[in-house]
Amino acid sequence: MDNITISTLSRYKAEKRKFAALTAYDASFAALFEQNNVPVLLIGDSLGMVLQGGNDTLKVTVEQIAYHTRSVVQGAPNALVIADMPFMSYHTVESACNNAAELMRAGANMVKLEGGEWLLDTVRALTQRSVPVCAHLGLTPQSVHVFGGYKVQGRGDAGQAIIDEALQLQQAGAAMLVLECVPHQLARTITEQLDIPVIGIGAGKDTDGQILVMHDILGISSGYIPKFSKNYLLQTGNIATAVQAFVDEVAHGDFPAAEHTFG
């Protein structure tokens, strides 16, 4: 796989070429994902649930994300590697800059932050200091206790607020956006209005890219597999083939299907 950059993904958007992304936490799986043409890898704070067995992502630390980032970069040197900024690691502009620097030194190409309007100054500061930012709107798992659970966001009149925040984040310098668990009509509108690539998870098939948690596509997540995911290992019986099937279905627009989508 050729080296993937932000410019690569921007070109994909312009060409309407849909791309896949996966979470990754170690060198071995990262290498397998790169070998099977996954251009974007996210060291997600989801590791607090799928690796550590927690009920949420809130206990994950910057040091843990940095450790797993170094591992993923070793396995997939050509992928675009995004590192999650964990809970309360970016509550001030200064803390965001310091913690983002640690993740970039670990090898990340970009950091991801959850939140909207309150993050605009932080996004500006990081971008001005040469840290590419991926914003995250919709269901933001670090706010699970505010939402009262893992619930679809942006239904009805609430959708306009997400559109407005997406445009504001782009204007502030965000180079990419993740939309999680929003109605597919809202995701389509945001994807069409933004110039930056939009990656969906539970956001319908009209976003520029799709991301899933690796444990979900392999059917090994503890608890349950979310409505918006799909067990590709059950379908294929082989890990590498499962990953390639995910990549191919995203590229052809076959995933997500209606059953993985919120109306």
Hey, which residues does 200 pair with through a beta bridge? Answer: 179, 210
Q: How far apart are CA 225 and CA 213, in angstroms?
A: 10
Phi-psi region of 154 (alpha: psi -120 to 50; beta: other; left: phi over 0): left
Residue type, 202: G
112 is in an annotated binding site: yes
Quickly state the pLDDT bin for 147 (edges 50, 70, 90): confident
Quickly state the pLDDT bin for 223 (edges 50, 70, 90): low
Closest CA to 38 of 210, 226, 221: 210
Residue 216 within a domain: yes
CATH of the domain at 229: 3.20.20.60
Is 180 a residue of the active site?
yes
Domain assignment of residue 105, given as a range: 6-260
Indicate which residue of 180, 192, 249, 259 is catalytic. Answer: 180
Q: Which residues contact 212 (CB under 8 A, 6 or more apart)?
A: 21, 22, 23, 201, 228, 229, 230, 246
Residue 143 within a domain: yes
Domain count, the chain: 1
Q: How far apart are CA 156 and CA 160, in angstroms?
A: 8
13 is in an annotated binding site: no
In order, the DSSP letters of 179-225 are EES--HHHHHHHHHH-SS-EEEESS-TTSSEEEE-HHHHTT--SS--
Residue 101 within a domain: yes
117 is in an annotated binding site: no
**Average pLDDT for the chain:** 96
43-72 tens-digit pLDDT: 999 999 999 999 999 999 999 999 999 999
8-state DSSP, 41: E
15 is in an annotated binding site: no
Give the whole-number percent of the chain exceeding pLDDT 90.
94
- Cis preceding linkage at 256, omega within 30: yes
Structure tokens at 7: 């410019």
pLDDT (average), residues 219-228? 84
Tokens 């984040």 map to which residue?
Answer: 169
Residue 73 within a domain: yes
pLDDT (average), residues 7-12? 98
Residue 1 within a domain: no
Contact 89, 62 (CB under 8 A): yes
